[in-house]
Structure 1
Amino acid sequence: MNEYTTKNQIFLKHILPEVPPMVCYIPNFITPEEENEILQRINCTPLPKWTQLSHRRLQNWGGIPHPKGMIAEAIPGWLAKFVKKVSDFQVFESHTSPNHVLINEYLPGQGIMPHSDGPLFHPIVTTISCGSHTFLDFYRRNTSDQLEVPVLEFSLLLERRSLLILEKDLYHNYLHSIAERNSDTVSNEKTKNLKLCGNAYTDNEQLERGTRVSLTIRHVPKTSKLKLKLSK
């Protein structure tokens, strides 16, 4: 059995059949030592690298995605090795390699509104969670012209050090979000990946949030080595 076969079997073992295609959830994808390294590196990043938003702050590595094309930049070695660790699982097609990392920092009580990753990216999103858990909520995209209040369909518990992979129907036809709250309640009915989690949880268990840092590793198909006028 070669290395590719072993990794492919691990990948298939962690696909979640209870939700639309597709979710792959791998607990303890990175070690505690690797998690500490990531957090230390991110905390030492110069302030100009951070973009401060109203509900979180973030860093872009590899460039800043734009409809006219992302001006490709080198990803630093400490981060590139985690990009490679994800890529080695053959998550992306053979002709596609991840070339962008979005780092988000969420303090307790912070979150993000329902959204999709959109057409700037190859339709596969992979996320490593560090520092704290969170719950990722999913809503079916509204395809009608009528204004509708999104209805929560299900949630995923993202443990620290885990890897989440989303693609296919969940990428194209669903929105995902993180609620702005300080703690989360486990639900046997709504939390669909409990059987794949690294720890055991009980129904209605309360989980207090800490500061979470996520590494969203994706492929931007349209890139350029030339500086473009991106203002319009």
Structure 2
Amino acid sequence: MSEIQDKSFTNLPAGAALISEFVSSAREAELLEWVDCQNWRDDLRRRVQHYGWVYDYRARHVSADAYLGPLPPPLRAECGRLGASDMFDEQPSQIIVNEYEPGQGIAPHIDCVPCFGPVVASLSLGSPCEIVFGNRTSGARLSCMLEPRSLLVLGGPARFEWTHTIPARKSDMVEGVRTPRKRRVSLTYRTVLAD
């Protein structure tokens, strides 16, 4: 992979990669400071921000009139890195920022197939947490920890055949030790295929 170094994990589905330290601690602080100065939507069980395009959670759709404009300059650096890598065919055109307080999660899902391109990437900031993958055909389950500043990339089978979820709980088992969660913010990068 060009520029981006892949760290292989055996507990990820085929087509997934988890890249440690995708951003520095200083960049993590910059991103958190910037998103915390923006307006949050609170119509879900967690707070979110949409950039580039609004995703309609109820209709599970992105329409052409949902375009918000170009991605804001403070968020473009990582998009440039992703677009320059061999993971994305082009730079992502949408970012969703999700905030997870302890006890919050997201239900098992596959990012909308007709809405988004073949690769989805998510940058974790703040607290670590466990992500769980479920194979829709075999029922197999895999999980791994998303460490702060890591980038999870889902393509191929991981993108289309496996659900992913952040279990709604207040702690995770980390190397055999129950570890309380703190606030986590994720930035999810996608390419919109609007109609």
Q: TM-score, normalised by structure 1?
A: 0.74
Gaps of 5+ in 2: 56-60
Which residue of the partner structure matches residue 104 of structure 2?
Answer: 110
Q: Shift of the alpha carbon at 1:20? A: 3.2
Question: What is the alpha-carbon distance in structure 1 between the residues aligned to residue 143 and residue 9 of structure 2?
Answer: 12
Give the 3 Å change call, closer, same or farther, for CA 184–99 of structure 1 in structure 2.
same
State whether residues 13 and 133 of structure 2, in contact with CA within 8 Å, keep that contact through their aligned partners in structure 1. no
Cα separation, partners in 2 of 1:26 and 1:168, compared to 1, 3 Å: same
Secondary structure of the 1:122 match is coil
Aligned equivalent of 2:58 = none
CA positional deviation for 1:78 = 0.5
Aligned residues: 188
Shift in Å, 1:154: 1.2
Q: How far apart in 2 are the matches of 1:98 and 1:52?
A: 24
Instruction: Give 2:42's aligned residue.
Output: 52
Q: Using the alignment, how far apart are the partners of 2:72 and 2:44 within structure 1?
A: 27
What does 1:22-101 align with in structure 2 at a 5 Å threshold?
22-46=15-39, 50-65=40-55, 66-69=61-64, 70-71=66-67, 73-93=69-89, 96-101=90-95
| Residues 92 and 153 of structure 1, relative CA distance in 2, 3 Å threshold | same
Cα deviation, 1:131-190, whole Å, max 9, x if unaligned, reads: 1111111112259xxxxxxx661112100011110111111111111111111013xxxx
Unpaired segments of 5 or more residues in structure 1?
A: 144-150, 187-201, 224-232
- Measure how far apart 1:43 and its partner are: 0.9
Task: Percent identity, please.
Answer: 31
2:177 is aligned with 1:184: no
Q: Secondary structure at the match of 1:24?
A: strand
* SS class of match (2:103): coil
Q: Is the CA contact 2:118–2:159 (under 8 Å) kept in the aligned structure 1?
A: yes
SS of residue in 2 equivalent to 1:52: coil
* RMSD, aligned α-carbons: 2.1
Other structure's SS at 1:85 match: helix
Q: Does the aligned pair in 2 maintain the 1:137–1:152 contact within 8 Å?
A: no
